[in-house]
Amino acid sequence: MPIKLKPHGQDIWSHFWMLRGNPWRQSEIFSIDRESTYVPEIYGDQLSEFYKKFALMPLSQEKNKQVIGAVWSTHTGDALGKGYGKSFLMAQESREINFDLGATKLRGFGISEDDITGNPFLAGYCTFDQAKDVKSFPAALLDAVSFILESPNGGENVHGVLRERIARKFDLEEGFESEAILSSLQRELRKYRGLNIQLTHASIERFMQKLCGDNTGELVHFIRHEIGPRVKSTQGFNFVHVFNAFLRLSGIVYVIYFVDQIENFARFARNQERDLKILRESICQTSPTDSMASFIFQMHVHALQTIEDWWDNIEHLPSLDPKRPINSSRIVDLQGLTTSGEAEILATRCLADNRIAGAKPPQPLHPFDPDIIEAVRQSAKGNPRRFGEKLGSILENAYLNDHPKIDLAFVTPLLDDDADEISSNTEEDIFANPDR
Amino acid sequence: MNETDTIPRTTLGDLFFALRVVAKDSPTTLELLRQHFCVYKKYRPRGDLLWSTAASNTQELNRLGLLTAASIPKTRRAYEQARDRPISISDEGRSLCKQLREDTAKAYDQMFALMFQAHPYLRHYVRAIRESELFVPVVTSLKDHLSPKYVSGSVLADDVSKRCLDVDSFLQKLSERLGATGRILSNDERQEISRRVSRLVDETIPAATTEEPTEFSKKFIAKLNDYFLPALFATERLSFDYRTHQLIWAFGQEWKLWQSTSDHPEFDGRLIFPTAKIEFLSSSEKIEKLTFDSGLSKTREDFLAKLYDAYLKVQKITKETYVLAWHLRAVFCFDNRCQETVFERLVEEHYTGSDDFELTLEIQRQKGLHDRPLRVGKRNIGLVRVGRKRTSNA
């Protein structure tokens, strides 16, 4: 129970603004453990581009479904290109894909029901994270495996659904599925001649047993806490290959791995050259990963500068440079809030998620109005994170100054430290005189 | 012309924007309106930036009875004192604002009727343009419009400083340019123009001797238009300054009532022609009816055939197979009395041609001397060729 401040303060939040609290954090950086308001509309056309390039195009291929691509934000309004919602997009869309093995997403693009049933797919999100000891590609991808396994799917999780699919496929006897799935998985793994996994390695063996077992919690705990960093680093890709074989066994035809904070790899990796060689061999040369798994990296200018020396120059991995037109089929470039309409949708949705129960605000943007939203969008140069942070700060300032009415006169001085030049709004004036 | 008037230095878009802001939060203040304008025009709302935009729009809306404002500042210093005084929407303003949301075109028509009533200059202009198109021989080039001897700004500055501007050549060129419309410069007009130009020369002698010649020539040309154009339009009672002419041209295009262009290849100057019928009683200041009889649907009928006719006309003048897109646009719009926006939409609709006509559009590769480029499919079009197909029976 939070403390109650001076009575009039509470009145401003709930009585005047009809809010339970501030909808925006002071630092709105994506966290996998936090529930935040997700507004896909802010991505505009880039959202369908995202699906076309990373899901539809690969799924339309018979054999090689692999894409090595990137989600970028090259926006000139922000030199670093951070805060454009790349992480949020990758993680949230992965969750939504996993919820019904991509069926709703494919349906949204007019794919036939037969094709949807025959092409189930999954997506995982992972990030290089020093605090969690995720410092190498294998460790990061193993984190994505946990992400997929834990993802809700209908009433249960993806792990349970995958087991069920295998059990149904092989008509396994109830109560003995785990053992049967394990032997099926071992048989499946033997099919891949290029897959050189030591199946008797203690960690691999335990991973396979838990993967085929029915306790998702134990499996995820094992991956996160019992496989040590050294084993993750040396055997990590083998876990991923085993998992991909498990997916194939269950009839999953395609999986996307979204890898965030790739620039941290350069910072953390002790032996970059060796790690990259293993990465290239593992994702491009090893079955079943090389034909059914895509790897999409989150990129911004700083990340490109960090990795460009070794990425395509040394290891000949596909270039992720957005300036090269040839790469455009593998790159999605997020533009931020390009119109006042997108900014209004984002603000409305965040406010709605934080309204007090039964509140009927005079208009959905209350206590803001469209002009304030546009002023803040311009001041944030269309950067969604800065946009939210600024709105949150405006509310806090208004609260601390006992200023329930938020108008441009109040907001303007708060935005005063920003640059003169502001981003362009491509929306046409809706009140222009139409041709008769 | 005894009566005076001030056409507001604004646009209809800005007027409607100001009206919407005041209607939304009435009563509001000039300062708040200024800040809204800053956001609308994408500036950071610092200091008193755009104070005059807020003030001039408020003044015009106040004059039209659409809002009530106590006093509207004319200077920056006065603005500081008046910035927080209330501005309220009137019933008429609220109703026009509602109309804008429900039927934008009608709201523009209403705004025209209100401004027609309030502005004698506008009434004179409408009367003149209702009779026939207007040709304004705007001076934009020293060599082509003033005298061939003025090949550079320094030659002009030299002549002005010696008080020996080549006025005869100017009058000669003016007569030739007006000749394209069949208009003859009368002796009285010649004398009045000479007198005004001499006055301008007298006034600019100090600048001619001190300012940088290129800069001086630019300012001289701008002032020249202000000085001689009123003399040229005295009979039509349009003897106001050049800036007012420009404002009225722009308003007309926003109302879709008239179109102005300097791109017509047959006219060396600006052509303004009506694109709708404006009916009012000659004794009255009230608009009776507006008929947009050359709008989208009318112009769309046999569009490619009309475009072909316009193309042949331009081709005859320029002797080129590919004609400049803006020449074609100007000729088409003038012949069909339509707005350039209508033309552009129809080119967009018909760019694939038809069974009878073939349309070839080339992207503009070099900077063109035009009012604005022809935009089709988000590209600037430079050259156009319209062909009639051989299989056509027509």
Beta bridge partners of B278: B290
Range of weakest confidence among A130-134, A338-342, B263-267, B356-360: A130-134
Range of weakest confidence among A412-421, B197-206, B233-242: A412-421
pLDDT of residue B285: 83
pLDDT of residue B45: 74
Residues A145, A124: contact at Cβ < 8 Å? Answer: yes
Q: Record the tokens describing residue A370, joined without a space.
A: 């469209």
Would you say residue B98 has pLDDT above 80?
Answer: yes
Helices (H) and strands (E) in chain B, counts: 17, 12
- In terms of Cα–Cα distance, which of A12, A34, A145 is closest to A87? A34
A45-333 has which fold?
Rossmann fold (3.40.50)
pLDDT per position as a tens digit, B69-84? 988 999 999 998 888 8
Nearest beta carbon to residue A435 from set B16, B32, B295 = B295
| Residues on chain B touching A371 (C-beta within 8 angstroms) | 21, 36, 39-40
Residue contact A415–B276, C-beta within 8 A: no
- Place A427 in a pLDDT band, splitting at 50, 70 and 90: very low
End-to-end CA gap in chain A: 61
Question: Which helix (H) or strand (E) segment is A31 a member of?
Answer: none
Backbone dihedral region for residue A358 (phi beyond 0: left; psi -120 to 50: alpha; all else: beta): left
DSSP result, B35-89 = HHHHHHTT----TTTTHHHHHHHHHHHHHTTSEEES---SSHHHHHHHTTSEEEE
Beta bridge partners of B291: B277
DSSP result, A319-367 = P--TTSGGGGGGEEE-----SHHHHHHHHHHHHHTTBPTT---SSTTTT
Would you say residue A417 has pLDDT above 60?
Answer: no
pLDDT per position as a tens digit, B210-226? 999 999 999 999 999 99
Q: Using CA atoms, how far apart are residues B187 and B180, in angstroms rounded to an integer? A: 19
For chain B, say whether A405 makes contact (Cβ under 8 Å): no
Residue contact A433–B105, C-beta within 8 A: yes
- Place A421 in a pLDDT band, splitting at 50, 70 and 90: very low
pLDDT of residue B326: 95
Q: Record the tokens describing residue B15, joined without a space.
A: 């007027």
Would you say residue B23 has pLDDT above 50?
Answer: yes
Range of weakest confidence among A25-29, A229-233, B164-168: A25-29
pLDDT of residue A419: 41
Range of weakest confidence among A9-18, A47-56, A164-173, B342-351: A9-18
pLDDT of residue A251: 94
Would you say residue B371 has pLDDT above 60?
Answer: yes
Residues A145, A223: contact at Cβ < 8 Å? Answer: yes
B12-104 has which fold?
Arc Repressor Mutant, subunit A (1.10.10)
Provide CB contacts within 8 A for A217, sequence distance 6+.
none
Using the structure block, give the residue that is written with the tokens 């938020």: A406
Tell me the domain boundaries of chain B. 12-104, 296-388
- Place A42 in a pLDDT band, splitting at 50, 70 and 90: confident
Which range has highest mean pLDDT (A118-132, A171-185, A213-227, B356-370)?
A213-227
pLDDT per position as a tens digit, B34-89? 988 988 887 877 788 899 999 999 999 999 999 999 889 999 999 988 888 999 99
pLDDT of residue A309: 66
**Bigger pLDDT: A317 or B331?**
B331
pLDDT per position as a tens digit, B176-199? 999 988 889 999 999 999 999 999
Q: Using CA atoms, how far apart are residues B197 and A205, in angstroms rounded to an integer? A: 99
Amino acid at B51: W
Q: Using CA atoms, how far apart are residues A355 and A348, in angstroms rounded to an integer? A: 10
A428 exposed, middle or buried (CB, 10 Å; 0-12, 13-18, 19+)? Answer: exposed
- Place B389 in a pLDDT band, splitting at 50, 70 and 90: confident
Question: Helix, strand or coil for residue B291?
Answer: strand
Average pLDDT over residues B322-338: 96
Q: Using CA atoms, how far apart are residues A390 and A380, in angstroms rounded to an integer? A: 8
DSSP result, B96-120 = HHHHHHH-HHHHHHHHHHHHHHH-H
pLDDT per position as a tens digit, A382-409? 888 889 989 999 999 898 888 888 988 8
DSSP result, B361-379 = EEE--S---SSS-EEETTE
pLDDT per position as a tens digit, A274-291? 777 778 888 887 888 888
Would you say residue A78 has pLDDT above 60?
Answer: no
Q: Using CA atoms, how far apart are residues B378 and B231, in angstroms rounded to an integer? A: 42
| Residues on chain B touching A374 (C-beta within 8 angstroms) | 39
Residues B257, B290: contact at Cβ < 8 Å? Answer: yes
Q: Using CA atoms, how far apart are residues A241 and A251, in angstroms rounded to an integer? A: 15
pLDDT per position as a tens digit, A137-158? 888 889 999 999 999 998 889 9
- In terms of Cα–Cα distance, which of A86, A82, A9, A20 is closest to A47? A86
DSSP result, A111-131 = --HHHHHH--EEEEEEE-BGG
Nearest-CA residue of chain B relative to A415? B44
The separation between CA A63 and the C-alpha centre of its own chain, rounded to angstroms, equals 26
Nearest-CA residue of chain A relative to B346? A435
Max Cα distance, chain B (Å): 74
- In terms of Cα–Cα distance, which of A361, A414, A261 is closest to A23? A361
Q: How far is B131 from chain A (nearest CA, A)?
A: 22
Nearest beta carbon to residue A412 from set B35, B40, B108 = B35
pLDDT of residue A84: 81
The separation between CA B391 and the C-alpha centre of its own chain, rounded to angstroms, equals 42
| Residues on chain A touching B45 (C-beta within 8 angstroms) | 375, 408, 412, 415
Amino acid at A307: I
Q: In this structure, what is the dihedral angle of CA atoms B263, B264, B269, B273, given to the nearest 10 degrees?
A: -100
Q: Using CA atoms, how far apart are residues B383 and A158, in angstroms rounded to an integer? A: 59
- Write phi, then psi, for B88 (nearest 5 degrees): -120, 150
Would you say residue B393 has pLDDT above 70?
Answer: no
- Place A323 in a pLDDT band, splitting at 50, 70 and 90: confident
Amino acid at B132: S
**Bigger pLDDT: A348 or B285?**
A348
pLDDT per position as a tens digit, A47-68? 999 999 999 999 999 888 999 9
pTM of the model: 0.62
For chain B, say whether A425 makes contact (Cβ under 8 Å): yes
| Residues on chain B touching A369 (C-beta within 8 angstroms) | 24
Q: How far is B269 from chain A (nearest CA, A)?
A: 26
Beta bridge partners of B376: B379
Q: Using CA atoms, how far apart are residues B349 and B365, in angstroms rounded to an integer? A: 23
In chain A, the percentage of residues whose pLDDT exceeds 70 is 85
Question: Helix, strand or coil for residue B241?
Answer: coil
For chain B, say whether A287 makes contact (Cβ under 8 Å): no
Q: Record the tokens describing residue A314, joined without a space.
A: 């040394």
pLDDT per position as a tens digit, B107-129? 999 999 999 999 999 999 999 99
Taking all residues of chain B, what is their mean pLDDT, rounded to a whole number?
A: 91
Residue contact A429–B342, C-beta within 8 A: no
- Place B394 in a pLDDT band, splitting at 50, 70 and 90: very low
pLDDT of residue A140: 87
For chain B, say whether A422 makes contact (Cβ under 8 Å): yes
Question: Helix, strand or coil for residue B355?
Answer: coil
Residue contact B42–A422, C-beta within 8 A: yes
